């Protein structure tokens, strides 16, 4: 018999750059970049944690490079144009192919693509 497997589930998507991601319409749908926060939790427990990434297009990256000679790429999700359905489908697909022995293992795997809010968190030793 195998041990318990933890799987992540998307609870909701949020952006400080857009009031409602379902209704969001960038000025240029083929050239934009926004911060997205995926609120994700274990499929067998309450709660959620934030996993952040830049949602952008290749043209936005090219435009960014016109004003500087480099740009770091993690955490970034690159799309051809804005569609909420594509954004949601990408995050759900990532969650579906991720699993681990516990939540920490799952979160570490998700952190490879998105920025986990507890990425560098370490508990302080008791005084």
For residue 35, pLDDT over 90 is answered with yes
Q: Check if the beta carbon of residue 109 is closer than 8 Å to that of residue 100.
A: yes
User: Residue range 46-62: average pLDDT?
Assistant: 96
For residue 14, pLDDT over 90 is answered with yes
3-state per-residue secondary structure call for the chain: CCCCCECEEEEEEEECCECCCCCCCCCCCCCCEEEEEEEEEECCCCCCEEEEEEEECHHHHHHHHHHCCCCCCCCEEECCCCCHHHHHHHHHHHHHCCCECCHHHHHHHHCCCCEECCCCCCCCCCC
The predicted structure's pLDDT at residue 73? 83
For residue 1, pLDDT over 60 is answered with no
User: Residue range 105-124: average pLDDT?
Assistant: 85
Here the tokens at position 107 are: 């979160």
Q: Which of 25, 21, 1 is nearest to 13 (CA)?
A: 21
Domain-wise residue ranges, the chain: 8-115
Give CA separation, 17 vs 4, 6, 21, 44, 127, in Å. Answer: 38, 31, 9, 31, 40
The fraction of the chain above a pLDDT of 90, given in percent, is 80
The rounded distance, in Å, linking the Cα atoms of 56 and 32 is 5
């Amino acid at each position: 018999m195998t041990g318990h497997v933890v799987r992540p589930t998307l609870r909701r998507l949020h952006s400080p750059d857009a009031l409602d991601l379902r209704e969001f319409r960038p000025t240029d749908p083929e050239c934009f970049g926004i911060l997205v926060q995926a609120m994700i939790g274990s499929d067998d427990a309450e709660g959620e944690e934030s996993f952040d990434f830049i949602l952008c297009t290749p043209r936005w990256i090219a435009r960014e490079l016109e004003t500087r000679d480099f740009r770091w790429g993690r955490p970034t999700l690159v799309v051809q144009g804005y569609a909420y359905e594509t954004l949601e489908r990408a995050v759900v697909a990532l969650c579906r192919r991720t699993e681990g022995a516990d939540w920490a293992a799952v979160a570490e795997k998700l952190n490879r693509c998105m920025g986990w809010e507890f990425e560098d968190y370490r508990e302080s030793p008791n005084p």
